[in-house]
Copies of this chain bind each other. A is one copy, B any other.
Amino acid sequence: MSELSGLTCPAPVTSGDRVLLAHGEGGRLTRRLIRELLLPAFANDYLRPLADGALLPAAGGRLVMTTDGSVVSPLFFPGGDIGKLAVHGAINDLASCGADPLYLSLAFILEEGLPIETLRRVVVSIAAASRACGIPVVTGDTKVVPHGMADGLYLTTTAIGSQRAGIDWSARRVRPGDRVIVTGTLGEHGLAVLAAREGFELVGEGLVSDSAPLHELAKCLDACGEAVHFVRDPTRGGVAAVLHELSEAAGVSIVVDEPALPVTSAVHGACELLGLDVLHVANEGKLVVVVDPDAAEAALTRLRRHPLGRAAAAVGRITSASNPGVLIRGGLGALRMLDEPNGAPLPRIC
């Protein structure tokens, strides 16, 4: 980190310390932005030749490719920023596929007038996250749109990973009786971003995004072998969106045990005040795992040994293969339907 935090933006990168349209035109200013800001931050042998594409060694095993656009507002929020979020989002999609991270690409869409210092902070954050996860930024692209045609900056990350041998995590392997596990407390990311954006100071107290890379946590499940049937990270739309997709894809019914859901008091309070169901709120550092019932305890034990899985909990089960739907059993035992997220309660949280 020390060489990154010391990154400076020499004057020639811009006039006036702001992003200009010319930074996106492929000429001298684009080259300076790349050579003086981006290349030093992401320094690695794949990126350095600055060819049209990155030349990468042959990869063994099945590849996984995943892409994510990041449009979060605000760009910086308690617990993270758009850069870290974009890297973790890519890593976590790989993690959900049982893949180890290999390479990352970045495409910036910058708004004319964005302070170069803001861009520098995001770049430093991306570089730190990519190094921490061992996924080098091997290629990239920068475009600039006129003032008023974006909101600061948007960022698209695409990751390539290598799937570990023996992984077969898929909705079609989910069966009645399977247990549903979440790897930690829910709802922190969505509420932290919402509170930061709307200035809910009272509600926002104690709300910090859970943005974290989950590739190592997911690997803890390998010891459970074929007993692991399905893994997904519950981001936009929250756990509810994952369970509805799973219910439809696998043709099963799922019952969630509401009192078993791990939720911090800050999130609980914010959800009560804002009238939100925590199951609809985005997470950026959690997995939903569906396992064979006989392996549920072993999976929980392994997950809880990892720092990012300490609050892992079994929160539901697959109940029927004949009647798709997602139900929630409240504290008093009554069953109700869990709505699929439909409207837009929390726009631009990732």
Contact = CB atoms under 8 A, between A and B. Distances in A.
Given A24-B347, A109-B109, A54 B58 contact: no
A199 interface: no
Contact of A237 (B26, B149, B341): B26
Contact of A348 (B145, B159, B170, B249): B145
Contacts of A57: 62-63
Interface stretch (A115-123, A133-141, A312-320): A133-141
A221 interface: no
Contacts of A63: 55-59, 160
A126 interface: no
Contacts of A144: 347
Contacts of A53: 64-66, 93-94, 96-97, 99, 159, 161
Contact of A69 (B97, B109, B139, B235): B109
Most B CB contacts (10 A, CB to CB) among A29, A49, A68, A144 go to A68
A261 to B, nearest CB: 19
Give the contact-size bracket for chain A.
35 or more
Interface string A219-248: 000000000000011011110110011000
Interface of chain A, main secondary structure: mixed
A342 B148 CA distance: 23
Contacts of A70: 143
Interface stretch (A100-108, A251-259, A329-337): A100-108
Interface string A58-78: 111111111111110000000
A105 B20 contact: no
A69 B26 contact: no
B67 A31 contact: no
Interface stretch (A150-158, A174-182, A267-275, A298-306): A150-158
In the A-B complex, list the 5 residue pairs whose CB atoms are closest, starting with the nearest. Answer: A26-B236, A27-B341, A26-B237, A53-B66, A158-B158
6 contacts: A22-B344, A24-B347, A65-B138, A66-B105, A69-B108, A109-B156
Interface of A: 20-22, 24-31, 49-71, 92-94, 96-97, 99, 103, 105-109, 138-146, 148-151, 154, 156, 158-161, 163, 170, 232-233, 235-238, 240-241, 244-245, 249, 282, 340-348, 350
